[in-house]
Amino acid sequence: MDWHDFLVESDETIRQILKTSRTIAVVGIKDDSHAYEAAHSVPAYLHSRGYKIIPVNPNYKSVFGTRMLKSLAEVEEPVDIVILFRAPANVPMHLDDVLRLKPKVLWMQTGIRHQDAAHKLAKHGIKVVQDHCMYMDHLRLIRAAA
């Protein structure tokens, strides 16, 4: 299988990811004081839909009643997806921890792309979604079909 096969573009693959994934580590999540920012509202929506959210941000104490972890290195359970709410320049600093966790998918939210990181993760068998909003994709591909 070629590493390009791990770069997710199709709606059908995204639909399957959203249907089969339950645990999501969210790097760069913000707390309730940022309710109208995507880094809070997207994970809040996913949480309301039954996904388990593991919040990762050293700048806050908790969200959704769950203690914030300072980094992905503190995650001690299997995760299906790691979502990044970080600027593209910050993506590489998370790669070693993502490789250690071995999620099914690394998801970079809208506006976030990093081809070198995507290539490295894909070569290790981790699917990569770039420049997609998980909230919008869920509404479009899961909720609309219900």
Q: What's this model's pTM, rounded to 2 decimal places? A: 0.94
Sketch the domain layout of the chain as residue ranges: 3-143
Pick the CATH number of 3-143 from 3.40.50.720, 3.40.50.11900, 3.40.50.620, 3.40.470.10: 3.40.50.720
Mean pLDDT over the full length of the chain: 93
Residue 99's identity, in one-letter code, is: L
Residue 111: φ, ψ to 5°: 85, -5
Task: Specify the DSSP class assigned to residue 69.
Answer: B
Cα–Cα distance, 107 to 105 (Å, whole number): 6
Cα–Cα distance, 66 to 55 (Å, whole number): 7
Residue 86's identity, in one-letter code, is: R
Strands ordered across the beta sheet of 81-84? 52-56, 23-27, 81-84, 105-108, 127-129
Mean pLDDT of 65-93: 96
Q: Over pLDDT 70: what percentage of the chain?
A: 97
Q: Which residue has the higher pLDDT, 24 or 32?
A: 24
Any residues with CB less than 8 A from the CB of 93 and at least 6 apart, and which? none
Strand partners, 53: 24
* pLDDT band with cut points at 50, 70 and 90 for residue 32: confident
